[in-house]
Structures are given as C-alpha cells and as structure tokens.
C-alpha cells in the first residue's frame, strides 16, 4: 500500500510502516494545491490538524482507501462523505488524552492562583504580593462538558485534587462514579467548567449568552477541545462584565485568530492549540497511526 504522510509524524513510526511493507512518502510540507494533484497516486494518507480533507479533495482520489488522522476528533475531515465513498477513516483518540487532561488541570490551577498575572508582574519588577490572593481548587465543583477519553482523564486528576466532579454528556449513561447531570444543572453548580467534546452541528456555539446567564458569578472556563463550541463574542462579554472571572483557551474559532481581543484580555490565558503537544503524546500518536495503517494494509480494516 502506498501512503503519503501529509503532516509531521515521528520518524521511528514511519520506518516501522516501511519495515511492515508499506511504501511511505513523507510530504509534511505539501500545500493544498499540490495535494489535489498528488493524492490520486496514493491509497492511504496520514494527516494531523494542518491538512484538511474536504469533499473536493476526496472526489479526485479514486485510489484512496484509508485516511488516518493523528489526533482526537475528525472535524478536519469530511469523514461521513469519505465513508460514503468507501474510504476508511480513523483517528487516534487515546494517544493524547493524558496530555490534554494535564493542560486543562494546569489551566485550572493557573486561573485559581492568577499565576499568569503574578509572573507578568514579577517580570515587570513588581513585588505586588497583596494583589494575588487566590483560591484553592480543592473543594470546588468541576463541570465537565463531555466525558469521553479526555474528560475521564481530567476527572481522575480533579478527584485527586479534592474536587467534586459533575459531567454532562448526552451520549454517556454512566461514568465511573462521576455524577451525570443536565447541562443546565452543570452550568448552575460548577465553579470551573471544562469542555471536552468534538465540534459538531449540535455542539457549535452551545455555550453562548443564555448559558453564561445560568452560570455562577465568578465561574472559570477552560476550553482545550475545539474552537467554535463557545460563542467567542458571548464569552468576551461575560469576561468583561465579570460574570466569568477567567478563561483559559487553547483553541479558537479561527486559528490563528483574526481578532486577538479575546486572547488579550487580562483575565484570559491563551495558548496556540498545544493540548497534544507533548513528547509523550506525539510518540503515542505516531505509534497508533503506524499500528492502524499496518493493520489496514493486512486486513483491509
């Protein structure tokens, strides 16, 4: 099977695929225009977040049999359309779960203690000790919107820190002792709300002005899932009004943002979609991509 690697993949696992008999071409700098011309020559492709696989690309690839996305979610691929065309679509949902969960927990601690502000103050050569009285997260309630692989990893860590954990997920019936509640109940009770769900037609802008109105005053929001789940205009208003005390955002509706005003707020921590950007997660992603492609080449599934 001939495979094109369109985005960065660990060399060790590329060699593993080659050893297993796959013909692998690494083109992790390929442009969308080049891909339209070259992808028809391949039966398999590996993508991450950079490369988008839309209907127009799928339509010019009669030989394509499998797409593997190294990462969580399939929003960068028109996966339903691909499946209609007989193309298998896979991802690596487990590989980066721990890394994203650790980022979410780290963000909660930073928000609780205003560590980002305290650090900036010190760099400005200020010793403003009285300005940084914070909160403990132990004893607080964490509301998880989405309790899949990443949400469960966040919950484990939150329990260890003494938090009460609630979760809303319409696709889950039980979650290892985590109390499942309605979205309205979660919004009303949570001190911290962390999002861990894919962006779909149902979840787009699901946290907007009406939902902010149902939250506690001084709630803190963490989004390490996908941009576009939170209405950014409504979040900006909630942050500037004081309804939301702080937000930590690893993802944005447009990446990079066209308008940086949300990221520039004093009560916002922002990062450039780095949830899975750890050495450990990248290695696990590469291993899982190789495993799935090798199995597909042998078994066709």
Q: Each residue of 242-293: pLDDT tens digit?
A: 999 999 999 999 999 999 999 999 999 999 999 999 999 999 999 999 999 9
Is residue 90 located within the same domain as residue 237?
no
pLDDT class of 174 with cuts at 50, 70, 90: confident
Walk across the sheet containing 219-223 and list its strands.
179-180, 164-168, 141-145, 192-195, 219-223, 244-249, 268-270
Is residue 81 located within the same domain as residue 131?
no
pLDDT class of 295 with cuts at 50, 70, 90: very high
With a pLDDT cut of 90, the percent of the chain lying above it is: 91
Is residue 30 located within the same domain as residue 148?
no
Domain span at residue 174? 97-270
pLDDT class of 61 with cuts at 50, 70, 90: very high
Is residue 151 located within the same domain as residue 235?
yes
Is residue 91 located within the same domain as residue 101?
no
| Model pLDDT, residue 144 | 98
Is residue 123 located within the same domain as residue 245?
yes
Is residue 22 located within the same domain as residue 119?
no
Question: 46 and 68 in contact (C-beta within 8 Å)?
Answer: yes
pLDDT average, residue stretch 221-244: 97
In our burial notation (b when 16+ CB lie closer than 10 A, e otherwise), range 89-108 reads: bbbbbebbbbbbbbbbbbbb
Is residue 266 located within the same domain as residue 137?
yes
Is residue 120 located within the same domain as residue 256?
yes
Judge whether residue 301 has pLDDT over 70.
Answer: no
pLDDT class of 175 with cuts at 50, 70, 90: confident
Give kind and range of the element (H or E) at residue 143: strand 141-145
The whole-chain average pLDDT of the chain stands at: 95
- Positive or negative torsion for Cα 145, 149, 152, 158: negative
Q: Token pair of 98, please?
A: 């721990």
Question: 275 and 49 in contact (C-beta within 8 Å)?
Answer: no
Q: Each residue of 125-167: pLDDT tens digit?
A: 999 999 999 999 999 999 999 999 999 999 999 999 999 999 9
Is residue 118 located within the same domain as residue 51?
no
Catalytic positions are 226, 255, 273
Give, rounded to a whole angstrom, the gap between the first and last alpha carbons of the chain.
Answer: 13
**In this structure, what CATH number is given to the domain that contains residue 7?**
3.40.50.720
Q: How many domains does the chain have?
A: 2
Strand duo 44-47 + 164-168: pairing: unpaired
Q: Token pair of 40, please?
A: 């028809």
The Cα–Cα gap between 64 and 174 comes to: 38
Q: What is the CA angle 82-87-92, rounded to 5?
A: 90
The Cα–Cα gap between 208 and 69 comes to: 30
Burial of 49 (0-12, 13-18, 19+ CB in 10 A): middle
């Amino acid at each position: 099977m001939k495979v094109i690697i369109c985005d960065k993949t660990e060399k060790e696992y590329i060699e593993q695929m080659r050893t297993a008999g796959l013909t692998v071409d690494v083109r992790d700098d390929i442009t969308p225009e080049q891909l339209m011309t070259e992808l028809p020559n391949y039966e398999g492709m590996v993508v991450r977040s950079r490369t988008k696989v839309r209907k127009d690309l799928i339509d010019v690839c009669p030989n394509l049999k499998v797409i593997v996305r190294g990462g969580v979610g399939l929003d960068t691929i028109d996966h339903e359309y691909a499946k209609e065309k007989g193309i298998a679509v896979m991802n690596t949902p487990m590989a980066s779960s721990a890394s994203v969960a650790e980022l979410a927990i780290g963000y909660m601690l930073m928000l609780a203690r205003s560590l980002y502000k305290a650090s900036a103050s010190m760099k400005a050569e200020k010793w403003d000790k009285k300005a940084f009285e914070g909160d403990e997260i132990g004893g607080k309630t964490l509301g998880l919107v989405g309790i899949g692989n990443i949400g469960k990893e966040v919950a484990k860590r939150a329990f260890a820190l003494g938090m009460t954990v609630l979760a809303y997920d319409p696709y889950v019936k039980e979650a290892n002792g985590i109390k499942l509640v309605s979205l309205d109940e979660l919004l009303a009770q949570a001190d911290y709300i962390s999002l861990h769900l894919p962006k779909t037609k149902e979840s787009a802008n699901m946290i907007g002005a009406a939902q902010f109105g149902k939250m506690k005053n001084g709630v803190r929001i963490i989004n390490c899932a996908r941009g576009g789940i939170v209405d950014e205009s409504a979040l900006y208003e909630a942050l500037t009004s004081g309804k939301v005390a702080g937000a930590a955002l690893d993802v944005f509706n447009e990446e990079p943002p066209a308008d940086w005003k949300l990221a520039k707020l004093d009560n916002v921590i922002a990062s450039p979609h780095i949830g899975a950007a750890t050495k450990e997660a990248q290695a696990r992603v590469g291993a899982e991509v190789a495993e799935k492609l090798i199995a597909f080449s042998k078994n066709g599934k």
